Amino acid sequence: LPVVYFVPLELLSQSLINTCQTLVLGQMTDLIYAEKDLVQSLKEYIRAEESKLSQIKSWAEKMDVLTSKSTSDPEGYLAHPVNAYKLVKRLNTDWLELENLVLQDTTNGFIANLTIQRQFFPTEEDETGAAKALMRLQDTYKLDPETLSRGNLPDSAHERAGSNLRYFEKLLEKEREEEEKEKSVNKTNTTTEPVVQSGAYERPLDYLPERDIYEALCRGEGVKMTPRRQKRLFCRYHDGNRNPHLLIAPFKEEDEWDSPHIVRYYDVMSDEEIEKIKQLAKPRLARATVRDPKTGVLTVASYRVSKSSWLEEDDDPVVAKVNQRMQQITGLTVKTAELLQVANYGMGGQYEPHFDFSRKDEPDAFKRLGTGNRVATFLNYMSDVEAGGATVFPDFGAAIWPKKGTAVFWYNLFRSGEGDYRTRHAACPVLVGCKWVSNKWFHERGNEFLRPCGRTEVD
C-alpha cells in the first residue's frame, strides 16, 4: 500500500537530475565525486591566491614604510650610497619579481581540472530530461508540486496538482503537443509501430485509458487480488522439474499471479554476483532505444527511460553461471535465448506498457535471430527500490514490487505458439532510489518440448 515518504530536498534534487532522460545513478555517483574533487581544487586555488595576496600585502607594507622615509628627505636618503644602490636594485630587480608574482596565474590547476571534468557534466538535454522526470513522477504518483519542492513525497491520497512551476508547465505543454502530433500521424498510418532493440514495443493509439490503469497500479491502487484468487497462490520448493542440480538445493518459489501464471523465485542471485554483473554492465550502459520496423532506425523514446547493456558468457564466468541457473530453474535452454540484458532505471526511469513477444503484424521482429518468438521472460531484480519501480500488468491488474535477489518468470506465449496478450506489462517510474534489473528472453527454438504441462492458460 502507498505510504508517506520524506526525502531531504538535497537528496531529492540530486535524484531528480539522476537519471531522467539519459543519466543513471551509477554515472551520477561519479559526478558527485567529480564535484567534490572540483570543490577541493577550488579550495587549493583560493589558498594559492591568499598566499599570493599575503606576499603582495607584505611587500606593499614594507615599501610603504620605506617610501615614506625616502620621500620625507630624498636628498638626505640618497646621500647614503647603500640607499642609492638599494633604490636601483629595487626598481631593476625587486619590482620585476613583484610583477611576476602579480602576474602569476594560480588558476591553472583549477581551470585544468574543471576543463577535464566538464566533459562528463550533464548536458542541456539532461537538464530538460530532469524536468520531464519530475513531471512524470508528479503525474504518475499524484504529487503536489509545492510539497514535492520541499522534499516531501506524500501518499496517493494527495490531490493531483492543479499547477506547477512555470518552467515545468511549459515543458509539459510542449510534450503534450508533440504527443498530439504523434497521434495524428499514427491515425493516418497505423502500421508504424516502434519495436524495442532485439524485441518489440507497441505504443497504443488510444493511450489514455490504459495510462490511468497503469499509473494507478504504480501507486499500489487497483490491484485485482481477490480473496478467491489469493487462495490459488502458494509457496513451494522448486527443483526445476527434478533437475539434478536443484534436487539438493531447490529454490523457493512463490505464486505472484494465477492466470497468467507468474512466479517469483528467491535467492536467485547473491550480492556478490549482483555487484559483479553491475560492474560489468556500467561501462557499457547506453540509453535504451527502440527500432521502427519500417525504417530500421534506432532512436530513444520518452516511454522507455533507462540505460541498458548486453552481457555475453565470455565476459565473465559469473554471467555463464547466472545463465545456467536460469536454465535450471525454468527448464528452458539458454542456447537460443538472447544475451543477458542489464538495465538501470534511475529517478523517473520507466518503461511504459509493452509486449515482450512479437505480434502477427510484425512477423520479422526476431527474424534475424532465427530462433522464433520470445516464449518466456525471466526478470532478475538486482536492487531494492525505496519507492516506485513496480512491474505492473494493466490487463489483469497485477503489481509486482522489486526485491533484491529475487526473480519473476512468466510465459509470453500459449503452448499453441499464440501470444498471450494479457502479459502486456510496464516498469513503473522510480520515485526514490535506483532500480537495477537483468533479464533473459527465452525463444521458441530448442524449447518446443521443454515447457512443463499443467500451467493454466486462461481464466
**pTM summary value:** 0.69
Sheet holding 350-354, edge to edge: 304-305, 350-354, 425-427, 391-393, 398-400
402 alpha-carbon distance from chain centroid? 15
> Residue 346 is which amino acid?
G
- Compute the half-sphere exposure of residue 439: CA atoms within 13 Å on the CB side of its CA: 20
Contact 333, 176 (CB under 8 A): no
Residue 391, φ and ψ in degrees, nearest 5: -100, 120
Q: In 10 A of CB 32, how many CB atoms?
A: 10
- Kindly give the confidence (pLDDT) of every residue in the chain, 459 residues in length, as a single tens digit, with 9 standing for 90 and above: 333 333 333 333 333 333 333 455 656 777 888 899 999 999 999 999 999 999 999 999 999 999 999 999 999 999 998 999 999 999 999 999 999 999 988 888 888 888 888 888 888 877 887 788 888 888 888 887 776 666 666 546 333 333 334 444 555 566 667 667 766 655 544 333 333 333 333 333 344 468 889 999 999 998 888 898 899 999 999 998 888 889 999 999 999 999 999 999 999 999 999 999 999 998 888 765 554 544 434 455 555 567 889 999 999 999 999 999 999 999 999 999 999 999 998 767 888 888 999 988 877 778 888 999 999 999 999 999 998 999 999 999 999 999 999 999 999 999 999 999 999 999 999 988 889 999 999 999 998 877 655 444 444
Whether omega before 244 lies within 30 degrees of 0, making that bond cis, reads no
> Other CB atoms closer than 10 Å to residue 73's CB: what's the count?
10
The set of cell numbers assigned to 331 is 527448464
Residue 389, C-beta contacts closer than 8 angstroms, at least 6 positions apart: 345, 349, 401, 402, 427, 428, 429, 430, 431, 433, 435
Q: Identify whether the C-beta of residue 290 lies closer than 8 Å to the C-beta of residue 194.
A: yes
Residue 137 has a CB neighbour count (10 Å cut-off) of 24
Element (H, E) at 225: none
Cell numbers describing residue 433 = 532510489
Query: What is the rounded end-to-end Cα distance, in angstroms, of the chain?
Result: 26
Among residues 97, 107, 96, the alpha carbon closest in space to that of 44 is found at: 107
Dihedral (C-alpha) 442, 444, 447, 453: value to the nearest 10 degrees? 90
Contacts of 268 (CB under 8 A, 6+ apart): 251, 325, 326, 329, 380, 405, 406, 407
Sequence-distant (≥ 6) Cβ neighbours of residue 133 within 8 angstroms: 16, 18, 19, 20, 21, 305, 347, 348, 349, 429
- Short-list 359, 166, 377, 160, CA closest to 263: 377
8 A C-beta contact, residue 245 and residue 333: no
